[in-house]
Amino acid sequence: MDKKLEPIVQALQEKYATSIEEFRDEVHVFVKAENIVDALTLLRDKYDFELLSALTASDYWPQQSPRFHVIYQLSSIARNITVQLRVPVNGDQPKVLTATRVYDVANWRERELLDMFGIEFEGHPDPRRILMPEGTEGHPLRKDFPLGYEEPQFTFNIDEIDLHKPYAKE
Amino acid sequence: MAQIEEVDVEQFKHLVSERALTGETMLLNMGPQHPSTHGVLRLLLELDGETVINCISDIGYLHTGIEKNMEAKTYIKAEVMSDRLDYMNTMGNNLAYVLAVEKLVDLDVPPRAQAIRVILTELQRIASHLVFLGAFGLDLAAMSVFLYCFREREAILDIAELCSGQRMMTTYFRPGGLWRDVPVEFETAVRAFLKMFPKRVDEYEALLTKNPILLDRTVGIGKLDVPTALQHGVTGPPLRASGLNWDLRKARPYSGYEQYDFNIPTRTEGDTFARYIVRIEEFRESLKIVEQALNKLPMGPINSDNRKFVPPPRSELGVSMEALIHHFKLWTEGFPAPKASVYSAVESPRGELGVYLEGDGGPKPHRVHWRTPSFDNLSALEKMSRGHLVADLVAILASIDIVLGDIDR
C-alpha cells in the first residue's frame, strides 16, 4: 500500500470498522451502506479527495447477500493518491444514501445506477432514468437482464415487429 | 407506432423555476437534432428573453449498451466495442482498455509497443482537438477553420489507416502489445506530419486567436471555477483552463510518458476562450511528445512473449504444435483473468478516461465500466451556461468538447 494512503485507510478502519482488500497496488475499502456519506465527507474534507472519479456498481446475481457492490473511485489531486470505497448491498431493491451533497457529479452517476442497476439512492434530488427512455422496464446492466437481440425494423415490417416488440407502449 | 407526445412540464417541475409554470419564462427544446449540439444531445432550456435561466440536459439518445455487450465477449474481442465509445479518440480508448486488461492479468508490454502507442495516441489527441477546433469555429460562424482542420485531420487518419487498416475504428492496440508492427512508411508519414503541422497551428491562431468577433463571443463567457469543476468531476482541458494543473500523463505516468519532456498548458480564466487556448497549446505539446518518441523509437518485439495471453505470430503456426494450440485456445476460448477488479485511467483529449474492469476467473469480463470524461464534463454545463445568451450556450457547449458516443456509451 502507498505510504501516503496508510493513515487514511487506518482512520477509516477505526471509525467505520471496515475491511480492506488489495489488488495490484489498488486499495479497496469496504464500507457499510449507512456510513458511506460520512466516509465520503471525511475523505473529501480531511484528506483532500476532491474528485469522485467514478461511481459505478457491480452485480453478483444469483448471490443475494451482497447482491451488489456500489463502487466509489476517489482521487486526491493534492496528494496524488486514489482509493476505492465499496458498499455491499443486499437484495433486489437495494437502497444507499445519496452522495449528491458531497459531490455534485454523484447526481448524474447515481441516476445512471438507478437506471442501469435499479439501485435507489435515498434523498436524491432528481431520481429519473438518465440513459434509457422513460417507461423502460427492468434494469439493463443487472445480470438477470438478458442481452437480447432485437429484430431490425424496415418499412415493410415495421408494424409487424412493433406488435411484439418488448418495449413500453402507450 | 408509438405516438409522439408533447413534453410534459410535470416531469421537469422540480428542475425549472416557478416562473416557468406561470408562463413568465419560456421552455425551449434544443436538439436532439440540432447542428450545434454535436450529436444527439437534447437540452431543455428555460429562457427569460434570450437569457438562459436553466439548462437541463437530456442524454441517452446514443445509448448502445456497450458495457453490457462487453460482458458477453472475451477480453480480446470486447476491445472492438471500445472504439465505438469516443469515436474521436479511438486509439486512446483502445489504450485505456488494454492497460486495464494488462493490469488485471499482469502482462508486460515491450518498449517498442509502448512508444508506438504513445505516438499514435498523441496523434489521435491532435486529430480530436482538430475536430474540436473545427466545430468550435463553425459554431461561432468561422466556417473556413473547419475546412482547414479536417484537411489536417485527414493526414492523421491516413497514418492510422497505414498502421491498422482502418481510419477510425482501429482496434490496433491489443493486450500485451500491438496487432502488428508499424509499416516502413510509418516514420516518413509521421515526420512529414511533424514538419507540416506547426505552421498550420500558427495559421489557425492567425485566423482565430486575435479575431475580435471570436474574442467578443468567448472572453468571459461560461466561467468555471476550480471548486465547481472538481465537484462536477470535470477533468481535462476544461479543468486546466480553470487553473488546475492536473494531467494523468504527468501525475500517474503510463506507457512510458515519464520519459518525454512536455508541459501541461494551463490558464486561469476558466472561460470559453481559455479552454480554446489550452487546446491550441496542447497541439504543440503533443507534437513535442510525438517527435521525442519517434526519435528514440526502440527496435525489438511489439508483443509480449507470454503466449498464454498473446496469440503467436502467423509464421509459427505451421511449424509449432504449441503455437497452434495457443492460437486455437486464444481465439476460441480466450484467456482467463483473476476474480478481482482494477481501475485504470488515461488522459484522453477530453479528460480522465477510466476503465473499471472486473474479472470473474473466466475468459469474459464480469463488469466493464467506462468512466467517460464527456459525461462528467457535460454535467457542469448547467452551471456554466446560467445567465448567458442562447448563442453563447452554443459556444460553451462547443468549448467543453463533448462526444455523445462517450456520454451515452
Q: What are the grid coordinates assigned to B37, written together? A: 449540439
Averaged pLDDT for residues A106-124: 90
Is the domain of B52 the same as that of B71? no
Is the domain of B214 the same as that of B298? yes
B233 to A51: CB separation less than 8 angstroms, yes or no: yes
For residues B111 and B340, what is the distance between their CA atoms, to the nearest angstrom? 27
Does a structural domain hold residue B325?
no
Is the domain of B29 the same as that of B162? no
What CA dihedral angle connects B256, B258, B259 and B261, to 10 degrees?
130
Q: Which residue has the cell 514538419?
A: B195
Mutate to test the interface with B, among A43, A72, A105, A145 (most CBs of B within 10 A): A105
Pairing of strands B177-178, B365-371: unpaired
Pairing of strands B177-178, B51-58: unpaired
Q: Which residue of B has its CA nearest to A170?
A: B2
B343 to A51: CB separation less than 8 angstroms, yes or no: no
Is the domain of B250 the same as that of B353? yes
For residues B129 and B92, what is the distance between their CA atoms, to the nearest angstrom? 13
**Number of inter-chain CB pairs under 8 A, A vs B:** 98
Is the domain of B236 the same as that of B288? yes
Is the domain of B33 the same as that of B107? no
Q: Which residue of A has its CA nearest to B338?
A: A23
Does a structural domain hold residue B393?
yes
At residue B7, the pLDDT reads 58
Q: What are the grid coordinates assigned to B342, written together? A: 482494477
Chain A residues in contact with B65 by the CB 8 A cut-off are: 140
Is the domain of B369 the same as that of B386? yes
B59 to A130: CB separation less than 8 angstroms, yes or no: yes
Domains assigned to chain A: 6-164 (3.30.460.80)
For residues B258 and B262, what is the distance between their CA atoms, to the nearest angstrom? 10
Chain A residues in contact with B244 by the CB 8 A cut-off are: 77
Q: Are B29 and B20 in contact (CB under 8 A)?
A: no
Does a structural domain hold residue B207?
yes
Does a structural domain hold residue B311?
no
Does a structural domain hold residue B312?
no
Does a structural domain hold residue B3?
no
Is the domain of B19 the same as that of B76? no
Does a structural domain hold residue B72?
yes
Instruction: Name the residue type at position B7.
Output: V
B244 to A52: CB separation less than 8 angstroms, yes or no: no
Mutate to test the interface with B, among A21, A23, A139, A169 (most CBs of B within 10 A): A23
Chain A residues in contact with B14 by the CB 8 A cut-off are: 125-126
Residues 6+ apart with CB under 8 A from A65: A90, A91
B103 to A24: CB separation less than 8 angstroms, yes or no: yes
Look at residues B99, B57, B76, B159 and name the one whose alpha carbon lies nearest to residue B379.
Answer: B57
* Counted domains in chain B: 2
Q: List the end-to-end C-alpha distance of chain B, in Å, as a whole number.
A: 26
B14 to A51: CB separation less than 8 angstroms, yes or no: no
Instruction: Name the residue type at position A68.
Output: F
Where does residue B5 rank: exposed (0-12), middle (13-18), buried (19+ CB within 10 A)?
exposed
Q: What range does the domain containing B19 cover?
A: 9-58
Chain B residues in contact with A134 by the CB 8 A cut-off are: 11
Per-residue pLDDT of chain B (409 residues; tens, 9 = 90+): 455 556 566 777 777 777 777 777 888 888 787 777 777 888 888 888 889 888 888 888 888 889 988 988 899 889 998 888 888 889 999 999 999 999 999 888 999 999 999 999 999 999 999 999 998 888 887 888 889 999 999 999 999 999 988 888 888 999 988 998 899 999 999 999 999 999 999 988 888 888 888 888 888 888 888 999 999 989 999 999 998 889 999 888 998 899 999 999 999 988 899 999 999 999 999 999 999 999 989 998 888 888 889 988 888 888 999 999 999 999 888 899 999 999 999 999 999 999 999 998 889 999 999 999 999 999 999 888 888 998 888 889 889 888 888 898 8
Distance from CA of A141 to the nearest CA of B (A): 6
For residues A109 and A114, what is the distance between their CA atoms, to the nearest angstrom? 9
Chain A residues in contact with B66 by the CB 8 A cut-off are: none
A54 to B2: CB separation less than 8 angstroms, yes or no: no
Is the domain of B164 the same as that of B48? no
B408 to A23: CB separation less than 8 angstroms, yes or no: no
Under an 8 Å CB criterion, which residues of A touch B?
A: 23-24, 26, 28, 50-54, 56, 58-59, 71, 73, 77, 80, 82, 84, 103-105, 107-108, 116, 125-126, 128-134, 140-141, 145, 147, 158-159, 162, 169-170
Distance from CA of A3 to the nearest CA of B (A): 16
Is the domain of B50 the same as that of B123? no
CATH code of the domain in which B121 resides: 1.10.645.10
Is the domain of B272 the same as that of B398? yes
At residue A158, the pLDDT reads 83
For residues B178 and B112, what is the distance between their CA atoms, to the nearest angstrom? 10
Chain B residues in contact with A162 by the CB 8 A cut-off are: 1
Distance from CA of A34 to the nearest CA of B (A): 22
Distance from CA of B378 to the nearest CA of A (A): 10
Q: Are A54 and B343 in contact (CB under 8 A)?
A: yes
Q: Does the pLDDT at position A170 exceed 50?
A: no
B379 to A105: CB separation less than 8 angstroms, yes or no: yes
Distance from CA of B126 to the nearest CA of A (A): 25
Chain B residues in contact with A73 by the CB 8 A cut-off are: 343, 354, 356, 371
At residue A142, the pLDDT reads 87
Is the domain of B19 the same as that of B110? no
3-class state of residue A71 by DSSP: strand
Summary mean pLDDT of chain A: 85
Does a structural domain hold residue B327?
no
Q: Which residue has the cell 485511467?
A: B345
Q: What is the ipTM of this complex?
A: 0.85
Give the helix/strand (H/E) hosting B30. Answer: strand B26-30
Chain B residues in contact with A153 by the CB 8 A cut-off are: none
For residues B124 and B80, what is the distance between their CA atoms, to the nearest angstrom? 17
